[in-house]
Structure 1
Amino acid sequence: MQIRRASSEDIPKIISLLKSSLGESLLPKSVEFWNWKHLQNPFGESPVLLACEADEIIGVRAFLRWEYREGNQKYQALRAVDTAVHPNYQGKGLFTKLTTQLIDEVKKEGFDLIFNTPNGKSLPGYLKMGWEKWGKLPLKVKLKVPNKSEKASKTKDWEEIAGLIARLEKSPPWTEGVRTSQVPGYIHWRYRDCPIVDYQFASDGETFLMIYRLKEGKKGMELRIVDLFHHSDFGKNQRELLRNEFNQICKNSGTIWVSFSGLNYDSDILNLGLVPILDRGPLVTLRKLREDLNPKDLNWKWSLGDLELF
């Protein structure tokens, strides 16, 4: 068996392995999605390891590159994402072998930490390999009575806010703490160009940008707020504009509940009522790559957009 770094020529076989090992139930597996996620990422291409027998790929382990920032301090991070082992080779320690070898390699490349949001099945394996629980993101929810005379909201053109996005990506962070670096191209890549989710936005085109998605569930339509950006010109009048537009979006969409998961909820900006904040968001785990840095001690300001499963 050979373990080596992946190349672009391997992608069709990687997709085939993901499909045979994981199926299509959770996330779609396609060359387009893989390229967007691992090659077009503005933080850089993902380090990916493959296990091969002859010409067959029997295992894959990918870490998605990410960058966080607090003031002038940058943290080069990775997110543990796509992993799969061919059904004929499962239960033989290949997942652990690929993961630990890739950890050793990225340590030498100067990365600071790894983060992810494992499910209950995969969590024990990560904890054995040195991951630590940070905890669950807080979740704020608001129940709404759906509007009986729904009026479809007009889909907005991302080009209308291109200037605002450019300003946001050049501006210093609007809040203290460790946040995703707003490098040029990040917002478009993460939200406008995502091939599997139709993200929408509310904005005045000048000072604020709220990213959300509509998700149909068993209990009805959910409006899920995933990110909120603004800069120093965002004042009282702009907050009122945001609240008015937000309320109109909720009314037109037929939403029965609104959710805001993350560490940046501010009732002065967007008040979602009196329901207590719940400990029901994604479980975050961290793996340090530097002995002098414990990522659990950082002042994290994650948004849901940083941690949504994709």
Structure 2
Amino acid sequence: MQIRKASEEDIPAIIQLLKESLGESMIPKSENLWRWKHIHNPFGESPVLLAEEDQKLIGVRAFLRWDFIHSGKTYKACRAVDTATHPDYQGKGIFKTLTTQLIQEIHEQGIDFIYNTPNKQSTPGYLKMGWEKWGQLPLKLHFHLNSGKNTHPLDPLPWKDIEGLVSQIEDRDEVSDGTALKKGYLKWRYLDCPLFPYYYLSDFESYLLFYRIKEGKLGREIRICDFFKTRDLNPKEIEDLKAQLSEAQNLSGARFTSFSGLSFAKQKEINLGPIPILKAGPLVTLRQVNPDLNPFEISWNWSLGDLELF
């Protein structure tokens, strides 16, 4: 078995392997999605390793680059995402071999830690390779028990209407804890994503809220992915935001709204009812890469937009 770095020329074969190994599942595999995620990411191209035997692709392992800010300092991270082993070669340790070697490579590149949100089936394997459970993401949930049809507009509002506000948010000298808002990040994340449409609420001057409509086990959901402000909102602006969110909830027919409990604790402008913050979100696991940084000692401010699967 040979292990080597992937190149753009390998993308068609990678997509074919992902389909053979995993099927389409909830997230359809495509070259467009792979390029958006692993090539055009504003935090940099993903480190990807391939396993081959007799010139046949039998394994792939990819980490998605991400930068976080905490207390004014930037931390380099990777998210453990796409991985697959050809069905004829499963059970031979290919996943572990690729993952272990890729961890060594990103350590040499100065990555501080790895994070991901594994499912119940994959969690034990990650724990055996040094990942540790951070815990479930706290969620603020607001149940409004709508049962109507989704009459929400299919197309998001024009991006050009918020380009000035997006630039202002990404160019701010005062940075908040959370994802490092590199130039072009918000467009990449919420306009260019090929998987689902994201919508926004805004007064085009002081606040910008991104959300999407998601079908799930509990019913239709308004998922607030990120909320940004250029300053503290006055009472009139808060009422305007409340009215826009209420309209979106009604049009969508969603049964509930969700928002990261880590973000909600610092963003009181969004009123989501009396239910306390619950540890009801995805399980987050972390793996130390930089021996001088323990990621469990940092109070992360993850949004749902940071941890969504795509």
TM-score (norm 1): 0.94
Is contact 2:233–2:269 with CA below 8 Å preserved after alignment? no
C-alpha displacement of 1:147: 7.4
Give ranges in structure 2 of 5+ residues lacking alignment.
none
CA distance in 2 between counterparts of 1:168 and 1:24 reads: 36
Tell me the percent identity: 53
Q: Tell me the residue number matched to 2:56.
A: 56
Cα distance change, pair 43–271 in 1 and its aligned pair in 2 (3 A) = same
Is contact 2:156–2:197 with CA below 8 Å preserved after alignment? no
C-alpha displacement of 1:130: 0.9
Is contact 1:264–1:301 with CA below 8 Å preserved after alignment? yes
Q: Secondary structure at the match of 1:280?
A: strand
Q: Tell me the residue number matched to 1:14.
A: 14
Is contact 2:113–2:290 with CA below 8 Å preserved after alignment? yes
CA distance in 1 between counterparts of 2:130 and 2:120 reads: 16
Q: Secondary structure at the match of 2:105?
A: helix
Q: Tell me the residue number matched to 1:167.
A: 168
CA distance in 1 between counterparts of 2:57 and 2:260 reads: 38
Q: Secondary structure at the match of 1:198?
A: coil
Q: Verify: 1:42 aligned to 2:45, yes or no.
A: no
CA distance in 2 between counterparts of 1:148 and 1:88 reads: 47
Is contact 1:225–1:259 with CA below 8 Å preserved after alignment? yes
Cα distance change, pair 155–10 in 1 and its aligned pair in 2 (3 A) = closer
Query: Matches of residues 215-234 of structure 1 in structure 2 within 5 Å?
Result: 215-217=214-216, 220-232=219-231, 234=233
CA distance in 1 between counterparts of 2:148 and 2:8 reads: 50
C-alpha displacement of 1:141: 1.3
C-alpha displacement of 1:261: 2.7
Is contact 2:261–2:278 with CA below 8 Å preserved after alignment? no
Cα distance change, pair 96–268 in 1 and its aligned pair in 2 (3 A) = same
Give ranges in structure 1 of 5+ residues lacking alignment.
none
C-alpha displacement of 1:260: 1.4
Q: Tell me the residue number matched to 2:79.
A: 79
Is contact 1:225–1:260 with CA below 8 Å preserved after alignment? yes
Is contact 1:262–1:304 with CA below 8 Å preserved after alignment? no
TM-score (norm 2): 0.94
Cα distance change, pair 83–151 in 1 and its aligned pair in 2 (3 A) = closer
Q: Tell me the residue number matched to 1:286.
A: 286
Q: Residue 108 of structure 1 aligns to which amino acid in structure 2?
A: E
Q: Residue 167 of structure 2 aligns to which amino acid in structure 1?
A: A
CA distance in 1 between counterparts of 2:292 and 2:218 reads: 47
CA distance in 1 between counterparts of 2:108 and 2:39 reads: 21
Query: Matches of residues 199-210 of structure 1 in structure 2 within 5 Å?
Result: 199-210=198-209
Q: Verify: 1:106 aligned to 2:103, yes or no.
A: no
Is contact 1:174–1:231 with CA below 8 Å preserved after alignment? no
CA distance in 2 between counterparts of 1:170 and 1:297 reads: 28
Q: Tell me the residue number matched to 1:91.
A: 91
CA distance in 2 between counterparts of 1:298 and 1:217 reads: 31
Is contact 1:71–1:173 with CA below 8 Å preserved after alignment? no
CA distance in 1 between counterparts of 2:20 and 2:257 reads: 36
Q: Verify: 1:245 aligned to 2:237, yes or no.
A: no
Q: Residue 167 of structure 1 aligns to which amino acid in structure 2?
A: Q
Task: State which drifts further: 36-45 or 130-139.
Answer: 130-139
Q: Residue 156 of structure 1 aligns to which amino acid in structure 2?
A: L
C-alpha displacement of 1:93: 0.7
Q: Secondary structure at the match of 2:183?
A: coil
